[in-house]
Structure 1
């Protein structure tokens, strides 16, 4: 089985094209737009991006190094399948790291100008959810959370969370988006910024724990 008809954006000639393709494909894996059990070829993906096959092949090899896809000799790439237990464990690790870190950031206080820089990302997460653009939604969501966690001043922590988030799968997003039900959880990013602005560490901690729990509740779903 080969994958052909995906909601991938046309990229054209851009700087840092390989990195942009890698980020887009990573988001497609996380959101379930690239599905386990389907073989994807670099040329077919490249045609949808509107680029040559070379940067797509390089980006997919990068994702293989991250453990997100498996390479199939002379065929292409297949998304690495994860069990429910794998996803539970990844979510548990995220909660152990992200929840106390957000609380610590709230307790330390965040400057208004820093929060103002994060608000456009929060708005894009919500807007992408509203228009059903899962790749844009996951990409903005990843950037938001990593930039927020970076305020703790621990780059190793940020890279660990980046890896955990990339290896997660949230297959239920498409169903939620199609029903118009993804926006409420997307709005939690703006709510989190409001709690940080108010210095409400308890509230920020509760919201972050609730937010991560979506990975295995409302965002969860079977691949397909």
Structure 2
């Protein structure tokens, strides 16, 4: 259920269909050096996944990428792990009034996970702010919808759509996201902050993980910002 990518870093891929197209979605799990698990973009908490998480530690934090990405199953984690804290991306509390959030995410990581994880709020889009995360020990960048990366292993229909959206074998957001950026300089500054991290691996919100060469992949995927 959980595929180990590095020391204290795992991923879990699950199916996600949008408008009839299989996009898939990736959950990232990080074991903090202080103990406990930081779960980003939580997947459906099946009995098998819950058992796999329990083998690796106590779930302490459950984080989305944005108000759209990575919140669908947070209520399951709140029930299964009552001591875990639910973290909110900007706008998520209004979107999910059924949940009680313990912390609002922004540019500054909480001291409880800051030794392992840095974060940047990617701003400048008309209606969406996304959190990018950097797992420092494994040099891994974790993205959401700002980081599609559809590759050759995807179904034919998905690959054709990805080409039209300009995210086939490229790390970045789909073209309609680019067209709805309201403040290009703020968005550009956010991506520069992400690129300042010393990452090599990239875990996208949808598609295939870039195991090495991730810095170059992000530079090339966002060359339209230049």
TM over 0.5: no
Q: Larger Rg: 1 or 2?
A: 1
TM-score of Structure 1 vs Structure 2, range by shorter chain: under 0.3
Higher percent of residues as helix: 1
TM-score by length of 2: 0.27
Higher strand share: 2
TM-score when scaled to structure 1?
Answer: 0.27
